[in-house]
Amino acid sequence: MTFAEAREAFLRHLEIERALSPRTVAAYGHDLEQFRALVAARRGADPVPARVDITTVRSYLAALFPTHDPRSIARKLSALRTFFAWLVRGRVVAADPTALIGSPKRRRSLPRALNSDDTERVVVKPQATELLPARDQAIVETLYGAGLRVSECCALDIGDVQRDGADTLVRVRRGKGGKERLVPLGSKALAAIDAYLALRGAPADGPLFLNARGGRLTTRSVERHLSRDAALAGVSGVTPHVLRHSYATHLLDGGADLRAIQELLGHSSLASTQVYTGVSLQHLMNVYDLAHPHARRRNK
């Protein structure tokens, strides 16, 4: 099997059997293509999967160090590990050449979360009276109100907003790894959605958020509109994932336990959720530095 054949079969496996998002599959494809191109440039021919050894992989990683940070290199190594582990299971190669290679050490950065004042500036606004501003307002309220990934938000249909008396739930059908979950939706988010749908004159079902041409809104459009509107509100660097981090951090600050937050976010592992304890601790330290007399004297 050639490298190109192995790569295409692997990407189909990720897309169909593991149900990964198109962006994730594309990222794997990009990393594998970069590996092929660098090896081919050095050796004059594409690598053959069965002949790739630990020296080949180490040479590839060494070539990345001048232009890539440890986090990027670790991700690219992870892509190779997943690829060769799949080839081993399929008996295309006898051994995994990445098995004895350690990931470069990297400092784990805490996810950025907005404080309460910045959150108010970004999320809370007078009710829009025009269609597209009302849509964007409903999206921001939904992202923050339910802690959704941007891909999950864009995949919502009208029928996924489920009302049961005083309670409203959002059915997330296209979570990471194809998982489905139900997430509570706050009253402000529901009011923003209803206001948008009233202006739109929406049918009973179909995509919840539409672009100006009537098609399903893309993640890139949401990211662009959110960044623009947040900047106009005086808050820079706001992305859908920043709103998701803010949702989790504010829940933790409010007393929610990690297991509940894990379920709400759709994390498969509690370890993914525990990073928010660091964010919350950072918030507490900031409060201490601002409020404690000794801290004030220390910072003068």
- 209 with 156: CB under 8 angstroms? yes
DSSP H or E segment with residue 104 = none
pTM above 0.85, yes or no: no
- Give the separation between CA 43 and CA 148, rounded to whole angstroms: 45
Exactly one of 7, 76, 135, 244 is catalytic; which is it? 244
Could you report the per-residue pLDDT of 114-141, keeping only the tens digit for each? 998 999 999 998 889 999 999 999 999 9
Could you report the per-residue pLDDT of 161-203, keeping only the tens digit for each? 998 777 889 999 876 767 889 899 988 999 999 999 999 997 8
Exactly one of 121, 171, 174, 241 is catalytic; which is it? 241
- Give the separation between CA 300 and CA 288, rounded to whole angstroms: 14
Residue 280 has pLDDT above 80, yes or no: no
Confidence of residue 293 (pLDDT cuts 50, 70, 90): low
Active site residue 68: no
- Residue 85 one-letter amino acid: A
Q: Is 213 helix (H, G, I), strand (E, B) or coil?
A: coil
Confidence of residue 299 (pLDDT cuts 50, 70, 90): very low
Token pair of 182, please?
């139900």
Q: Give the total residue count for the chain.
A: 300
Active site residue 149: yes
Residue 57 has pLDDT above 70, yes or no: yes
Active site residue 244: yes
Q: Which CATH architecture has domain 116-290?
A: Orthogonal Bundle (1.10)
Confidence of residue 273 (pLDDT cuts 50, 70, 90): confident
Q: What is the DSSP string of 69-85?
A: -HHHHHHHHHHHHHHHH
Active site residue 241: yes
Q: What is the mean pLDDT of the chain?
A: 89
Exactly one of 7, 76, 149, 200 is catalytic; which is it? 149
Strands (E) across 160-285 are located at: 161-164, 167-172, 181-184
